[in-house]
Amino acid sequence: MARWEPNAQERLVRAALELFTEQGYDTTTVNEIADRAGLTKTTFFRHFRDKREVLFAGQDTHTRLLADAIDAIDAIDAADGPVTPLEAVRAALDALTATFTDDRRDVGTRLRPVIAGHTELQERAALKRAKLTEAVTDALHRRGVPEPTASLAAELGIRAFYDAFDQWADPASEQTLTELTRRTLDELRAALAALD
Amino acid sequence: MARWEPNAQERLVRAALELFTEQGYDTTTVNEIADRAGLTKTTFFRHFRDKREVLFAGQDTHTRLLADAIDAIDAIDAADGPVTPLEAVRAALDALTATFTDDRRDVGTRLRPVIAGHTELQERAALKRAKLTEAVTDALHRRGVPEPTASLAAELGIRAFYDAFDQWADPASEQTLTELTRRTLDELRAALAALD
Q: Are residues B134 and B149 in the same domain?
A: yes
Task: Quickly state the pLDDT bin for A82 (edges 50, 70, 90).
Answer: confident
Q: Are residues A146 and A70 in the same domain?
A: yes
pLDDT of residue B4: 63
Half-sphere exposure of B2 (CA within 13 A, CB side): 3
| Residue A91, domain CATH | 1.10.357.10
Among B91, B51, B84, B95, which residue's Cα sits nearest to residue B150?
B84
Nearest-by-CA chain B residue for A124 = B123
Flag whether pLDDT at A86 surpasses 60: yes
Burial (Cβ within 10 Å: 0-12, 13-18, ≥19) of residue B65: buried
Question: Is B196–A152 a contact, with Cβ atoms under 8 angstroms apart?
Answer: no
Number of domains in chain A: 2
The reply to whether A1 falls in a domain is no
pLDDT of residue A79: 61
How far, rounded to the nearest angstrom, does the alpha carbon of residue B142 sit from its chain's CA centroid?
A: 22
pLDDT of residue A6: 74
Question: Is A148–B123 a contact, with Cβ atoms under 8 angstroms apart?
Answer: no
Say if B187 is an interface residue toward chain A (CB within 8 Å): yes
Q: Are residues B40 and B73 in the same domain?
A: no
Flag whether pLDDT at B77 surpasses 70: no
pLDDT of residue B1: 45
Flag whether pLDDT at A75 surpasses 70: no
- Alpha-helix residue ranges (DSSP H) falling in chain A: 8-23, 30-37, 41-47, 51-54, 59-71, 74-80, 85-97, 105-116, 119-142, 149-168, 177-192
The reply to whether B158 falls in a domain is yes
pLDDT in tens, B114-132: 999 998 898 889 889 999 9
pLDDT in tens, B145-191: 999 999 999 999 999 999 999 999 999 999 999 999 999 999 999 99
In angstroms, the CA B73 to CA B83 distance is: 8
Report the complex ipTM.
0.79
Q: Are residues B62 and B119 in the same domain?
A: yes
Flag whether pLDDT at A76 surpasses 70: no
Among A56, A62, A135, which residue's Cα sits nearest to residue A97?
A62
In angstroms, the CA A125 to CA B172 distance is: 37
Domain holding A134, by residue range, is 55-192
pLDDT in tens, A13-41: 999 999 999 999 999 999 999 999 999 99
Say if B91 is an interface residue toward chain A (CB within 8 Å): no
Mean pLDDT of A93-118: 93
Contact, B191 vs A149, CB < 8 A?
A: yes
The reply to whether B137 falls in a domain is yes
